[in-house]
Amino acid sequence: MTQRGVRRASGRIAIGVDLGGTRIRAAVVSEEGQIRYRLEQPTRVEEGASSVMQRLLSLIRDTISGSPLERHEIIGIGIGSAGQIDPWSGTVLSATPNLPGWGGTPLAEHVREAFDLPVRVDNDANVAAWGEKQFGAGLGVDHLICITIGTGIGGGVIVNGQLYHGAVGVAGEIGHLTVNLDGPPCNCGSFGCLEAYAAGPAIVARALEAVMEGTKTALIQMTDNRPEDITVPLIAQAAAEGDPLASRVMQQTGYYIGVGLAGLVNVLNPERIVIGGGVAQAGDSLLQPIEMTVRARAMPVATEALQVVPARLGEDAGVIGAAALLF
Amino acid sequence: MTQRGVRRASGRIAIGVDLGGTRIRAAVVSEEGQIRYRLEQPTRVEEGASSVMQRLLSLIRDTISGSPLERHEIIGIGIGSAGQIDPWSGTVLSATPNLPGWGGTPLAEHVREAFDLPVRVDNDANVAAWGEKQFGAGLGVDHLICITIGTGIGGGVIVNGQLYHGAVGVAGEIGHLTVNLDGPPCNCGSFGCLEAYAAGPAIVARALEAVMEGTKTALIQMTDNRPEDITVPLIAQAAAEGDPLASRVMQQTGYYIGVGLAGLVNVLNPERIVIGGGVAQAGDSLLQPIEMTVRARAMPVATEALQVVPARLGEDAGVIGAAALLF
């Protein structure tokens, strides 16, 4: 049944791969953006780049052989990788800190040689944005900003209906917009970047600080009175359930994200902003302050028709968007 | 001679108009970006929008009739206007504070009816960016950011070789990137925008403050001991001549501009940044700190091949770029 379904639905099927610092995911994706089969593996970056490459290749091989597909039905392989990518050659330009030792890897070339199929590689946040644009919350929108908030903050910019890459391919680093020129140091080496204010570690630190000051919160019970176990998903869950401290932390986070996005709205005048990543699970407690801040701070002409919406594809944005690079 | 020159050089000639809050400039521009004839008039916004429109139309008429051109040689009229413009319809969306009463004016339609020629209208900073891209410091560059620093800070973003307009046409407002979320109020209604730190009024205020604190400076003699007469051109001149206070003011200004641009470099990964506007006359005392700050704060992969250069067309960028909308 499944096999016939695959064949009937579309002539075009691609393999989508999401290569992150923790996990490698691979999926068989139809031209309609449906996942037909999937596998995943831990990345194990500590074993070194060539070991990760072997694991990546065998995961792709297993995905192809395990899926109800004939090899000739696959039009190609798309990969969204952590780091900064040259999307034209499919080479990793820089991948610290997530994939140490991957800088300079001709990723597309290796995969192409192994499978003799067309291969496209792009940055993971760009690929997630492309997935949302093609099959998710950005469907039909030609001027789109997608922001992905997790351990770091990534983004993808859709311009005139296409993913925008810039001069050397590394456009879209929305997490490294400045929100405060004298702000805290950022992983990128600069100061006061949006990422330093609103990514996972900053959110946890803000919650932890309030807990240490003695603020009452459901997070204490949720962690069995071990505040060092507080995580972003827990804060997001507590906020969604109405916990005042967690809500305040999310509101503050949303404010910072809104400040960064407001400036970008003035420069890029998008039609829609899609908010994704694990933190977005906090729902309205995060989305509302983002939207309010963008509307309060960006120019009215640019926000009149602007929509701020949650991502739709969740963790599948990576594999779906990667496959969609081929369609 | 001139007349024959015009005819021989190119089959395509356009009228370029630069409509600002102080002056209206019009010029006959060849397809090579050469100005063949020009006229200008004060805008006199205080006389009201319909009076400005009449003055605009007669300036265009006088430019056409005064130039060594036959009417049939003109392929159209391009206008760069202050304010926020819908470039597809050529309507002014909002033009406060520079052109009060112009919001909603169907500018292209009025001019088209008066001259029965193709008319294109765009924002003045976009048009200046387009002029630099087609005939100035951005020649041959497909991924370009132009910033124009004057009484306000405007900008134009060139993406894949084309001026980027965004969803409703108002992209490019680089002056309203946030550099400090808790910064001083900006004309746009937000806080801590680049414009609030680095446009003309902020530069003059910074110099004035230092003078009032008793800092020695050539600006005191240059204004006959009337510090209230200090202007940006004077500060720029003093900085170019090595005055320590003026240089420090320009350095600080360049730092702020660099902070805003660094974030934008991370998001847009341009190949080149062009710095224009009256303030840019300060030369290296402004350009060096801009470039140093961008390189210090933006991600290395995005700055490796990046160039930061001064604009080339000066005050003519507006009329040349406006005409170039037609080519």
- Confirm if B181 and B192 have CB atoms less than 8 A apart: yes
| B319 — pLDDT class (breaks 50, 70, 90) | very high
Which residue of A159, A160, A178 is in closest CB contact with B179? Answer: A178
Residue numbers in B near A269 (CB within 8 A): 165-172
pLDDT of residue A4: 40
Tell me: pLDDT of B10 over 80. Answer: no
Mutate to test the interface with B, among A301, A303, A307 (most CBs of B within 10 A): A301
* Tokens 């720029």 -> residue: B236
List Cβ neighbours of A161 (8 Å cut-off, separation of 6 or more).
A142
Going residue by residue through chain A (327 aa), what tens digit of pLDDT does each one get?
334 444 444 578 999 999 999 999 999 999 999 999 999 999 999 999 999 999 999 999 999 999 988 888 999 999 999 999 999 999 999 987 788 889 999 999 999 999 999 999 999 999 999 999 999 999 999 999 999 999 899 999 999 999 999 999 999 999 999 999 999 999 999 999 999 999 999 999 999 999 999 999 999 999 999 999 999 999 999 998 999 999 999 999 999 999 999 999 999 999 999 999 988 888 899 999 999 999 999 999 999 999 999 999 999 999 999 999 999
Chain B residue nearest residue A155, CA to CA: B267
Query: Residues of A with CB below 8 A from B180's CB?
Result: 179-182
Option in A94, A171, A193 nearest B268 (CB): A171
Query: In the prediction, which pLDDT does A223 show?
Result: 95
Tens of pLDDT, residues B218-275:
999 999 999 999 999 999 999 989 999 999 999 999 999 999 999 999 999 999 999 9
Helices within B136-243 (DSSP H only): 194-198, 200-212, 218-222, 232-240
What is the pLDDT, as a whole number, of residue A70?
A: 82
CA distances from B268 to A52, A168, B73 (A): 30, 10, 39
Confidence of residue B282 (pLDDT cuts 50, 70, 90): confident
Question: The complex's ipTM?
Answer: 0.94
Contact state of A167 with B299 under an 8 Å Cβ cutoff: no
Name chain B contacts of A143, Cβ cutoff 8 Å.
166-167
Residue indicated by tokens 């996005």? A261
pLDDT of residue A100: 86
Predicted local confidence at residue B7, as pLDDT: 45
- Indicate whether B168 pLDDT > 70: yes
CB contact under 8 A, B178 and A178: yes
Contact A266 B159 (CB under 8 A): no
Spell out which residues of chain B touch residue A160, defining contact as CB-CB under 8 Å: 159-160, 164
B159: its two tokens: 């993406």
Residue with tokens 């644009």, as numbered in its chain: A133
- Average pLDDT, whole number, for chain B? 94
Q: What is the structure's pLDDT at A3?
A: 41
**Is A99 in contact with A92 (CB distance < 8 Å)?**
yes
Q: Is B120 helix (H, G, I), strand (E, B) or coil?
A: strand
With an 8 Å Cβ cutoff, are A269 and B159 in contact?
Answer: no
Residue A299 has its nearest CB partner, among B142, B176, B305, at: B176
Size of interface A-B (CB pairs under 8 A): 166
Q: Which residue from A minimizes the CA distance to B141? A: A167
pLDDT of residue A145: 98
**B263 vs A177: CA distance, rounded Å:** 4
Query: Is the CB of residue A311 less than 8 Å from the CB of residue A7?
Result: no
Tokens representing B193 are 């925008």
A252 CB neighbour count, 10 Å cutoff:
16
Q: Which residues of B touch A159 (CB under 8 A)?
A: 159-160, 164
Tell me if A170 and B305 make a contact (CB, 8 A cut-off). Answer: no
Residues of B in contact with A179 (CB under 8 A): 178, 180-181
Q: Which of chain B's residues have a Cβ under 8 Å away from the Cβ of A144?
A: none
For the whole prediction, is pTM greater than 0.90?
yes
